[in-house]
Amino acid sequence: MSLIFSFIPYIKRLIVLILILFGLAVGFILSKALFDLSIYSNAVFDFMIDKSSYNVAYFSSSLIGALGIISFIGLVLLVGSWVERRMIAKFQIRVGPNRVGIFGLLQPIADAIKLMQKEVLVPAVADKLLFFIAPVAIFIPAILAWAPIPWGPNMTYLNINIGILYIFAVSSLTVPIIFFAGWSSMNHYALLGSMRTVAMMVSYEIPISLSLLSVVIITGTLNLTEIVLWQSSNSIWLGLLIPFSLFTFFFSSTAEINRTPNDIAEAESEIVAGYHIEYSGMKAGLFMAVELGNAVLLGALVTSLFLNGWFLFGLENYIPPYIIFIAKTVAIYIVLIWLRATLPRFRLDQLMNFAWKMLIPVSIINFFMIAIETTIITNLDSSKYIIYLFAIINIAVFVGLIILWSKIFKIDKFSPEKIAPIFAQKIGGIKAMEGTKSVD
């Protein structure tokens, strides 16, 4: 009997396997119907334009797309927090949430229900209006920034020519809102957190914009869709062609969205929760949700700017392109979780020094280098091979810079032999001294 039931410990893995197979089967069947989601929006437009005016048809079809993106963000907020908690638990040799639903999948919903039930405390001395507005308003840029993301060939919700500029402008809106939250709380921890955020964002927007400018000059466009198409037409990922820009963008963005190792704005061990320390209940939950959403947004941006968007070696012809896009986004998000589970935190002044003394000068040098390369590429006919050459050069320069940097800052002086403690035997040892012995 026991042999028959010996599969029970593996039943979870069995279920996962069945679910994966089922998902693959369903995905194969649906992949033709759901290959390009834009046809549904267009169908609504065609249907409505017969019935009513152009404006109504345009509005109703765009509403479909907006609903799609917003429901995707909602799904990300639910599943993402589960993924993050489970993965960090695995990193930390813990189990993680596994009680609510199978594998604890319903844990985010339970959390949300719990947070909604809690009382929202407002400090007596708080600025009531700003205190109320901040958690609501912080959602606006977090959702608006998703608009120009290119999901697939025809699946860009807001296909504007100034896509990068738009994202840059919208994401900057979070700075005053975080400052509202911190200042209106009338709490010194919150004020410290928001001042840190403002200082950090003002500093780190410069390396971010410099790294994005490199992308813009090499592709010659601000449109995210065209940046993706440029990468596929030249068959190279921009992350390989300009690795330093990718590094700068990624590292600086972790500072912008308060992720480890740059989460000093809400450093738990120092200023407890930073700007949202006074928020309780679902308002605190909103701040946390926005942080998670921003982390996934960073994944989407890195994917479309540096990782060739929905293209993956011809695989985009067989499975829906947006699935590839989401997979790349999730991969970047998992890198962020990995960093969070691994690294300690920088200090504010160290972060500022790094931005102003290291990232910004080197970004400017990198920018000029790429400008020269772009001039050569545009003036040559056989541009494809020269791009590969430049990619190798850039990677070599990137590695060289890291080595040079470690030489300048003498990281090798922290070799284990030189930092290990000495031992008392070496300096004569400790003898039992008569004068110090405790007397009866």
Distance of closest approach, residue 81 Cβ to another protein, in angstroms: 15
Distance of closest approach, residue 183 Cβ to another protein, in angstroms: 13
Distance of closest approach, residue 22 Cβ to another protein, in angstroms: 35
Contact residues for another protein, defined by CB under 8 A: 88, 91-94, 188-189, 192, 260-261, 263-264, 267-272, 340-350, 411, 414-416, 419-425, 427-433, 436-438, 440
| CB atoms inside a 10 Å sphere around CB 201 | 22
Distance of closest approach, residue 356 Cβ to another protein, in angstroms: 16
Nearer to another protein, 250 or 311 (CB): 250
Residues 227 and 304 sit within 8 Å (Cβ to Cβ): yes
- Taking alpha carbons only, the member of 349, 375, 63 closest to residue 218 is 375
Residues 180 and 134 sit within 8 Å (Cβ to Cβ): yes
Residue-by-residue DSSP string for 50-63: HHS-HHHHHHHHHH
Q: Return the residue matching tokens 């896509």.
A: 163
Nearer to another protein, 50 or 349 (CB): 349
Q: Return the residue matching tokens 């280098």.
A: 369
- Taking alpha carbons only, the member of 313, 317, 148 closest to residue 237 is 313
Nearer to another protein, 157 or 287 (CB): 287
User: What pairs with residue 156 in β-bridges?
Assistant: 150
User: What pairs with residue 150 in β-bridges?
Assistant: 156
Residues 242 and 219 sit within 8 Å (Cβ to Cβ): no
Nearer to another protein, 34 or 88 (CB): 88
Nearer to another protein, 3 or 419 (CB): 419
Distance of closest approach, residue 387 Cβ to another protein, in angstroms: 33
Nearer to another protein, 101 or 123 (CB): 123
d(CA 170, CA 250): 18
Nearer to another protein, 210 or 273 (CB): 273
Residue-by-residue DSSP string for 266-308: G-HHHHTTGGGTT--HHHHHHHHHHHHHHHHHHHHHHHHHHS-
Torsion over CA: 241, 207, 194, 273 (sign): positive
d(CA 211, CA 369): 12
Distance of closest approach, residue 256 Cβ to another protein, in angstroms: 18
Distance of closest approach, residue 414 Cβ to another protein, in angstroms: 5
Tokens of 240: 């390989």
141 by DSSP, 3-state: which? helix
Tokens of 238: 């921009």
Distance of closest approach, residue 354 Cβ to another protein, in angstroms: 10
Nearer to another protein, 347 or 407 (CB): 347
